Structure 1
């Protein structure tokens, strides 16, 4: 192996290793946390099977358009409002936000609180809309 090449390009090598690590983490991170990702196909199945849809976006985001029948509890209020969801502890819950980051945190909170079947909407409402799935402002 050419050590001169490695010395001259150590920053590129470090960048490649870091990006590879992030890619690997994106695949295994959710599995380690016990939160399953639901792509739009799985999310549609959950929705049609009457899973609870929980939208954790802020009020303005929710008002701009959300999944029909979604229950709205902003992420910042979720810890204090978990008791509102107690009757859904054994029911599948699909959690959504704009891109899937806040909803992943909400899924972790729900799992820690004893909710059995929690799914994070992969790609969030953005992915839902890109798949031409229904959104309402009601």
Structure 2
């Protein structure tokens, strides 16, 4: 008990981080359309998932997931016919943080695409997980 009184800030930090992890775990279980970098890699390798990078050209050129197709978020609706050839395959959408790709994924679901996933945390999480990055144009 004396230890906790003298080190209350460490105990508070441990409680806060534990709560945050629990909330993230619960939130992540409810939405199966959100993939971690590892889950995305498994889907790419096992089911030939197509990665679509929805960032702007300059962001894409700085580095993207290998073999990712580049279709900026603003062009998703206009270029949905181009995506029709992949309608039966899983599509993984990514951006910098996962926000733009989440809204682009919602657009594709409305257009009738069933197997649409969002890379949770986007390229930031992808790189943090140590996954490969390419600068080649696809």
- Using structure 2 for the length normalisation, give the TM-score: 0.75
- Give the distance between the partners of 1:131 and 1:48, measured in 2 at CA: 17
Instruction: Tell me the equivalent position of 1:85.
Output: 83
Task: Summarize the alignment of residues 1-138 of structure 1 with structure 2, pairs less than 5 Å apart.
Answer: 27=27, 31=31, 36-49=33-46, 50-138=48-136
Shift of residue 27 of structure 1? 2.5
Instruction: Tell me the equivalent position of 1:15.
Output: none
Q: Which runs of at least 4 in structure 1 moved beyond 4 Å after TM superposition? A: none
- Give the distance between the partners of 1:67 and 1:135, measured in 2 at CA: 5
- Give the distance between the partners of 2:111 and 2:38, measured in 1 at CA: 27
- Give the distance between the partners of 1:114 and 1:48, measured in 2 at CA: 24
- Give the distance between the partners of 1:116 and 1:42, measured in 2 at CA: 18
Shift of residue 113 of structure 1? 0.5
Shift of residue 58 of structure 1? 0.3
User: RMSD value over aligned CA atoms?
Assistant: 2.0
Question: Aligned residues, how many?
Answer: 112
- Using structure 1 for the length normalisation, give the TM-score: 0.75
